[in-house]
Amino acid sequence: MLGLCARASWPRLADLTRMWDSLTELVTRCDLPRGGSAGTLLHTLQAATVSARGHLRRSTTMTTDALQRNISFLRAQLQSWPLPDLFPRLARLLVAVGEPVTVHQVATAGGWTQEQVQAALARHPRVDFDEDGRIAGFGLTLHPTPHSFSFDGHTVYGFCASDALEFAVILDRPGRIESTCPATGQPIRVEVTPSEVLTVDPPDAVVSTVRPTQAVTDIRAYCDLCNFFSSPDAATDWLAQNPQGQIATVADDFAITRQTIIEVGWVTP
């Protein structure tokens, strides 16, 4: 539904930094004979250091920008919502109860009146309800979607890929995300804890996002654009159709999502 600021302590950025430093040192100290293949090798290594450094700078800039846009968007969205912390409270309640909940249950859990909950839900198009009118989900849902999150023998679902990534943070539980690339049909699996992504299969999988900076009426319209793709190449057509969108590595999108949740006060780091 959202959908860490870039720091040197990030494992991925730190690894890139070390890689660049190592390549720079190798080029500086290289004592190969001049000419022929040695010159080609030296040129290749020099090009590699420039490329790695440029990638690091672009990654840092893009990640920082995406984080700020995400925080701005969610803060604007929360200002327009009658109950700003409805989403995390409802998510935890659905997991605790294990089935759809009534307005009365939500009101009791959040310390609100039923009228407040009803008014808040009325502001959110496409909240999931069951046949009895109970609430089945908003962001986190009990109704199957392409993005599942399994933990402790339970499975819940996200409206979008970023939703699935944030569940470990909001619920404070490690788990496994399963999705499918909409372009290739390839299964995607992510092992995640409340603080980090452990594994991604396939390793090149990315997350597509559109990050508005102002509040929107139908949040799920943007959720529909947020998916896991098996690789950047698999997301090429999506980017062509959504020029305002971005793709990010799974680890980066998780970090952006996690820090955004912390910044708006939904969890304590």
State the SS3 of the chain: CCCCCCCCCCHHHHHHHHHHHHHHHHHHHCCCCCCHHHHHHHHHHHHHHHHHHHHHHHHHHHHHHHHHHHHHHHHHHHHCCCCCCHHHHHHHHHHHHCCCECHHHHHHHHCCCHHHHHHHHHCCCCCEECCCCCEEEECEECCCCCEEEEECCEEEEECCHHHHHHHHHHHCCCEEEEEECCCCCCEEEEEECCCCEEEEECCCCEEEECCCCCCCCCHHHHHCCCCEECCCHHHHHHHHHCCCCEEEEHHHHHHHHHHHHHHCCCCCC
65 noted as active-site residue: no
List the catalytic residue out of 160, 181, 252, 253. 160
List the catalytic residue out of 128, 181, 223, 226. 223
List the catalytic residue out of 5, 128, 152, 163. 163
160 noted as active-site residue: yes
CA-based torsion, 84, 88, 90, 91: positive or negative? positive
Catalytic residues, by residue number, are: 160, 163, 223
